[in-house]
Amino acid sequence: MKACTTLFVIGIFLTAVAMADDADDVRAAVLRHYAALNAGDADAYIQSRAPEHSLFSGGGLLSRSTSLEEQQSAFKAGIDAGLKRNVSARHLEVRIYGNTAVATNYTIGTIARPDGSITQVRVQRTAVLIKQGNQWKEVHQHRSLLNIAPPQ
């Protein structure tokens, strides 16, 4: 009985360590996503996404991508047209549920458009990520406007 109890306690400890490592890996994946957005790096951007990615944004209907190539092409078209982002994740929180993670944060910054206009970005963001092999890939994102100042 003592051996079973010891194994049980060790199992709980190892699970907590794995989940903590996964949470750190998800945080790193989210931050790489923002770095790719800001750098206009279509290759790095697409590495953060799952092929079946979906998105709710701006109060619109659900949009779905049919392939990673489609996602990369759309991202690259914006960059090639002169779109520049300077955004960051604030108050990033991660919850792990097995091979699924939910990451929440505020996205704050600016988007410079090809016509010279600059849009202030203040959105709430929730991303659902799945673990594929050893990598966390974003499979769904929901963004909505933040109507108050984000917490400091």
Q: Which domains does the chain have, with CATH numbers?
A: 2-145 (3.10.450.50)
CB 94 within 8 A of CB 69: no
Range 21-28 average pLDDT: 97
Looking up tokens 């109507």 gives 147
User: Which segments of the chain does DSSP mark as H helices, in order?
Assistant: 2-39, 42-47, 68-80
pLDDT, averaged across the chain: 88
Encoding tokens for residue 51? 């092929």
Give the pLDDT of residue 1: 55
Who's near 72: CB < 8 A, 6+ residues apart? 42, 43, 45, 46
pLDDT in tens, 124-136: 999 999 999 999 9
- What does pTM read for this prediction? 0.82
Longest dimension (CA), the chain: 72
Amino acid at 91: H
